[in-house]
Structure formats: structure tokens, C-alpha cells
Amino acid sequence: MVTIMSNSTDIKKFKASLRGELIERGDPRYDEIRKLYNGMVDKRPLLIARCVNVADVISAVHFGRDQKLLIAIRGGGHNGPGLGSCDDGLVIDFSKMKGVHVDPETRTVRAEPGCTQGDMDHASHAFGLAVPAGIVSTTGIAGLTLGGGHGYLSRKYGLTIDNLLETNVVLADGRFVKANSSQHQDLFWALRGGGGNFGVVTSFVYRAHPVSLVYGGPIFWDVKHARRVMQWYREFLPQAPEELCSFFGLKTVPSTAPFPEEIWGRKICALISCFIGPREDAEVVMKPIFGELPSPLFKHVDTMPFPALQSLFDPLLPTGLQWYWKGDFVKELPDEAIDAHLEHAAKAPSELSLTHLYPIDKAVHRVSRNNTAWNCRNATWSMVIAGIDPNPHKAKEITKWAKEYWEAIHPFTIGGAYVNFMMEEGQERIQATYGENHARLSAVKKKYDPDNLFRVNQNIKPAP
Ligand SMILES: Cc1cc2nc3c(=O)[nH]c(=O)nc-3n(C[C@H](O)[C@H](O)[C@H](O)COP(=O)(O)OP(=O)(O)OC[C@H]3O[C@@H](n4cnc5c(N)ncnc54)[C@H](O)[C@@H]3O)c2cc1C
């Protein structure tokens, strides 16, 4: 990769063209500003353009392209392999573009790409609305949306991209376009799952839904019941009403409040649930969880505002932890797969390391596989195995654990993984994820970014 160090006059001109700030390596704030969510990734860009409007973004794209700089686009900076930044290149940073506009009449939300999940939930909750997206409030909505976006509302209302109505995009040649169901339809198709490959998105318009108070929270069982709970869960959840989303976890109880001290450090299996609707209905639908399974070790299930559920895990997952994660799409959970899960989860090297199975069914299945770039709609779950620890000295250990665990489970999966749960794993994995949509994505890439200017991502190469 060729990186040309711009001369100071070029940089000065670029700086003067921006309303936002340009952070260079000598800036005392450089190290703080370049930090990514994953503490395992340490990238040192040449320049960070903290854009405040579309004009800044256009200027940054022109500058980066003309200077032959590697360009990274940073939304929330939460990406596992740190694809929101790059070494020695230009970062187009959206951390100052956090505007959210909610229109309660049309039930739509327009959000800028620096917004976190929490920013969007906060703004829409005031109107009794929510946009289907992720489950942790600090995650950036830009990368999450462009990769697909699944969470508590997906079973009822679909993926985040199924609720995306329009995007504004700055293309590789600096043009500004609108992509929606009638303008630049090919681009709009590709942006819904194809990641940051096609241009710099400067705003997203979403359909929002009436979600305000929800009933839910975590329930833990001792790991000795995990086999039974998993077998039960694989039958129960797919036939449960779509108002209920329960994701499954193999975890360790963190040694911290609010968990009772007597269960700190205990290996557990968990169901973390969200029911969209009144408590009385939730109690009926969730009754089998309490009636058919052993008594839980811990439960915190109640009525709460949706943003409260969305930020339940924030304190456990601050910025800067070491993360190594691997994903896969899962259609079925045979007993052999459950055994492999239990064997490897038992060896988790830290309290925060986890496995989650997120439901991908109901409304997600109602959209056809070639309707958006997101191909794996025949899956039942999106799985993530994440080695997580605050201590950088444990980076190797958590990585080894996640890789070995994944090797054991991969034969039971349908190939391909949610792009937002992948490290940098090569073209084969990307092609497996997009399946029959990959060729079409390459053609759209060729049309909108023929020189692969935007390649700091799960890269789709332009068609030859
Ligand atoms: C704690 C945690 C919880 C998570 N929970 C969920 C979940 O519940 N559901 C879910 O679906 N995912 C979840 N994720 C995964 C999440 O979707 C990805 O980490 C995603 O990349 C985050 O987006 P970001 O904007 O923060 O990423 P960044 O690191 O900023 O960017 C990621 C990628 O998106 C591209 N990109 C970012 N902004 C733009 C833009 N404006 N225009 C074009 N390309 C852009 C970048 O080029 C980069 O390739 C979670 C991640 C973490 C760390």
C-alpha cells in the first residue's frame, strides 16, 4: 500500500477547508482521539479529520484520494478488528456528528453517523419510539447499520437495514448522492449489509416503531443446567411469539455489583430477554421459562424503559478492554454442537469472555435473501464467541480460546458470519457471508468505487 506523506502546505489547505478539526500526530490529544473501543487494536493514523458537516466529508474524501492516502471511516469506533481507523492514513471521524431528528408524525428518525445506539434510543424514546438496532448503548449506529444490525427488536421489526429508508452518501469521486428505494437503488441495496465499501454515509433515515416500556432482563442458571437449558431453548424460542426476543449466553457471573457476591465468578448459562408489550402478556409468554426449567440462580426481570434495557451491560463493557471475537451463522443446534459449546465455554479464560446466540428469525426471515445485501436470512441464530479481558497481557490467551472454540463449533454452522462479528478473516469468509449476493456487491463496488478507495472494511473488491 502506497502512502504519500502530504507536504505541510497541502495539509494546511486541507485544514483550512474544514469547519471541524484536523488532528495531526503532534497534537497533545492525538493518543486520546485515535483510541478505539477494542484495546487490542492500536492504530496510528497520519491525520484524523473530525468532520462536522457534509462539506467537511467531501473535502476529506477529495484530499485523501488526491494524496493517495489510505482512508478509514470512523462511526462509533466499536468495530472488532478496528476498521474505523488505519495506520498512516486519513481517518474520516464522525464523533462530532451526532445529530438525531425524530419525526413523530411519520415515525422516522434521521441520525448522523457519529451517533451511538444510546444517542438514537435517547432521542426516539422521548416520543415513545425505537429503531431496531443493537443491544449495547455505546455501539456506533453507522457501522452497525451498514453491517445489518440485530438486537432485541429484530424478531418483531427486522434488522436495522430492514428499517433503513434512506442514506446520504459521499462517493469516492466526491459526489453527494441520496440512496433510497427510488434513487440509486443499486447503491441502497448494497449499503444494506455491504458495510462501508461504497461511500461515506453522512446520514441515515430509519423507520421507528412504538416501543417504550418493555419487560425483560437477564436470568442465570448454574452451568450444570446448561445442556438442558440449551436443548429447551432451541425448541422454545423459534416458536415463541415474535414480541419476545431471548438471546442465549454461556458466561461467568462478573465479580461486581449488582450481582450477589455469593455467585461472583460462577460459570452460568443465561437468557437475556425483551418482551415488547404489557407485563401481563409477557408473563404468559415467558411462563415456560420459569415453569419448565430448573430454578434460576439469579434473575432481574421487570418492566423498564427500553433504553434502560439497552444500557444494562454498559458498565461491564467500557472502552479499552481486549476483545477477540469470532462469529458464525447457526441454523440448528444439534446435541453434538451443544456438547462442543459446553466443553469450550468451560475453559473461558476470563470472567467477561462469552458466547451469545442472537435470534435471527420471524421478521428477519420475512425479507428475501436478495432483497438486501444481507444474505444469511436462513439462519436461526447469529453466534458470537468473544474473548474479553481488561488485561493486555491476556490478549494471546483470550484469542487462542476464541479461535479454538470457534474451530470446534464451525462444522455445525452454515458458513459465513455476521460481518460485524468478524475479525479480519480474509476473502473466503467474506464471500461465504455474502453468498450469492457477493457478485452483485462486486458489480456495485465497481460502479461506485472502482479504485477501491474505501477498503478499510470487510472488503468487497470491485468486479474485474
Ligand atoms: C459491546 C458491543 C456490542 C455489540 N452489540 C451488537 C448488537 O447488539 N447488534 C449488532 O448488530 N452489532 C453489535 N455489535 C457489533 C457492531 O455492530 C460493530 O462493532 C460495528 O462495527 C460498530 O459500528 P461503529 O460505527 O461503532 O464501528 P466503526 O469501528 O466506527 O466502523 C466500523 C466499520 O463501519 C464503517 N463505517 C463506519 N461509519 C461509516 C460511515 N459513516 N460510512 C461508511 N462506512 C462507515 C467503517 O469503514 C468500518 O469498516 C456490538 C459491538 C460491541 C463492541
Please report which helix (H) or strand (E) contains residue 35, including its range.
none
Write out the chain's pLDDT in tens, 464 residues. Answer: 444 455 789 999 999 999 999 999 999 999 999 999 999 999 999 999 999 999 999 999 999 999 999 999 999 999 999 999 999 999 999 999 999 999 999 999 999 999 999 999 999 999 999 999 999 999 999 999 999 999 999 999 999 999 999 999 999 999 999 999 999 999 999 999 999 999 999 999 999 999 999 999 999 999 999 999 999 999 999 999 999 999 999 999 999 988 999 999 999 999 999 999 999 999 999 999 999 999 999 999 999 999 999 999 999 999 999 999 999 999 999 999 999 999 999 999 999 999 999 999 999 999 999 999 999 999 999 999 999 999 999 999 999 999 999 999 999 999 899 999 999 999 999 999 999 999 999 999 999 999 999 999 999 999 99
The answer to whether the CB of 353 falls within 8 A of the CB of 386 is: yes
In the sheet that holds 21-24, the strands lie side by side as 21-24, 47-50, 90-93, 71-74
Residue 6: per-residue pLDDT: 55
Ligand 1: nearest atom to the Cα of 151: 8
Furthest CA-CA distance within the chain: 71
Kindly state if the Cβ of 136 falls inside 6 Å of ligand 1.
yes
- 305 burial via Cβ count (<10 Å: 0-12, 13-18, 19+): middle
Residue type, 274: C
Kindly state if the Cβ of 159 falls inside 6 Å of ligand 1.
no
Using CA of residue 226, residue 229, residue 231, residue 233, what is the dihedral sign? negative
The answer to whether the CB of 190 falls within 8 A of the CB of 445 is: yes
Q: Which residue's alpha carbon is nearest to atom 17 within ligand 1? A: 144
Residue 8: per-residue pLDDT: 84
Query: Which contacts of 98-107 are long-range, i.e. CB under 8 A and separated by 24 or more positions?
Result: 100/124, 102/126, 102/127, 102/129, 102/208, 104/129, 107/207, 107/208, 107/209, 107/210
Cell numbers describing residue 95 = 464523533
- What are the CA-CA distances from residue 189 to residues 146, 292, 297, 348, 368 (Å)? 11, 43, 45, 39, 12
Pocket test residue of 94, 119, 139 for ligand 1, highest count of atoms within 8 A of CB: 139
Kindly state if the Cβ of 193 falls inside 6 Å of ligand 1.
no
Pocket test residue of 35, 70, 74, 205 for ligand 1, highest count of atoms within 8 A of CB: 74
The answer to whether the CB of 195 falls within 8 A of the CB of 189 is: no
Q: Which residue's alpha carbon is nearest to atom 11 within ligand 1? A: 149
Rounded-to-integer distance, Cα 41 and Cα 359, Å? 29
The verdict on whether omega for the bond into residue 349 sits within 30 degrees of 0, i.e. cis, is no
Rounded-to-integer distance, Cα 414 and Cα 116, Å? 31
Predicted TM-score (pTM) of this structure = 0.97
CB atoms within 10 A of CB 141: 31
Q: Which residue's alpha carbon is nearest to atom 53 within ligand 1? A: 78
Kindly state if the Cβ of 77 falls inside 6 Å of ligand 1.
yes
Ligand 1: nearest atom to the Cα of 140: 26
Percentage of the chain modeled with pLDDT above 90: 97
Ligand 1: nearest atom to the Cα of 159: 11
Ligand 1: nearest atom to the Cα of 94: 41
Give tens-digit pLDDT for 273-315.
999 999 999 999 999 999 999 999 999 999 999 999 999 999 9
